Amino acid sequence: MFDPRDDARDREGGDGRARVYEDRDRDGRDPRDGMMRDLDLPRGDERELVVNRDRVYELNGEDSRTLAAVGAFRVVPEHDVDADHDTVEHLRDEGLVEVVDLGDGDRGLTLTREGRDLLDAHSLGREDEPVQAFHAGVSKDRELDHDSHLYSTYRQEEARLRDEHGGLEVRRVVLEQDLKREYQEFLQAHNRGRADSDGRPDRDEHEIREWARDHDVPYFDGQVHFPDYRIEYEADGRELHQDVELFTPHYRGAHAAGHSKAGFRVYVVGARGGGRSAPRPRGMEEFL
């Protein structure tokens, strides 16, 4: 079977990593580009052959960027993903995305297992830093409405950060579940590989506070607090990040106050009949 990677094993990008698919036919900025940073997938207008295991797919830059955005945020409303109908239908026909019902006539996109495997297989690892993680399927049905609004907040936040930093480069997006997974690995590090372990973490408060400080997440009221997601980016020669939290109508009172104390950038989805409303940045005073 023809593998296009066989034609360009010695081709390298500006970061010294071997690439098959080069940046071309790309003018302007796309908020999905940050999730594409570590992917060796087509970026141009014409569809090209992409091989994964025993499958061959045809993808172009729009297909690649759509897959990356959907995979990074797990579920993205079809009308938010910046892709035309033909792109979405092509990715469905290729078996890389599937549609989920968001209610009120809205449809969401999520990766299939094959879609996630394709992104993982074409992700170029970095020795000195983590790469973008991708997810397939809906995590929890009860969280679908909340999670399907996250990409809309990202588009707004990416635009705000770019206005503040002209040379902004998004490096990756980290979901809450991935931050928590890293935290659990820290908590369980002493138990790993021990036959006599009862599975309970033995980290003391000082160690937990140190971990929280090292990862720049807040610790108060006896626990670590995590945002819905984190945008890691580079600007003005510095590596920075922005933590984002989304409030849906059931967040009120003490719960909202706790997240305000955490210092996250907050977006709100208001209660409105007749369909989904777009999230907007808000202060905390209206929740208290």
- Tell me the backbone φ, ψ of residue 251, rounded to 5 degrees: -80, 120
C-alpha triplet 265, 271, 273: angle, nearest 5°: 145
- Whether the pLDDT of residue 89 is over 70: the answer is yes
172-231 pLDDT tens trace? 999 999 999 999 989 888 777 666 556 677 788 999 999 999 999 999 989 999 999 999
**In this structure, is the dihedral angle defined by the CA atoms of residues 259, 261, 266 and 270, taken in order, positive or negative?**
positive
151-185 pLDDT tens trace? 999 999 999 999 999 889 999 999 999 999 999 98
* Residue boundaries of the structural domains of the chain: 4-138, 151-287
Mean pLDDT of 5-17: 51
Q: Which of 70, 66, 9, 75 is nearest to 42 (CA)?
A: 66
Q: What is the pLDDT at residue 202?
A: 78
Is the CB of residue 203 less than 8 Å from the CB of residue 186? yes
Q: Answer with the residue of higher pLDDT: 16 or 65.
A: 65
4-138 CATH: 1.10.10
Q: What is the pLDDT at residue 25?
A: 46
The rounded mean pLDDT for the chain is 84
- Whether the pLDDT of residue 273 is over 60: the answer is no
Q: Answer with the residue of higher pLDDT: 54 or 28.
A: 54
Q: What is the DSSP string of 237-258?
A: TEEEEEEEEEE-TT--HHHHHH
Whole-angstrom distance, CA of residue 240 vs CA of residue 257: 25
Element (H, E) at 147: helix 144-147
Whole-angstrom distance, CA of residue 71 vs CA of residue 225: 24
Number of helices (H) and strands (E) in the chain: give both, helices first: 9, 12
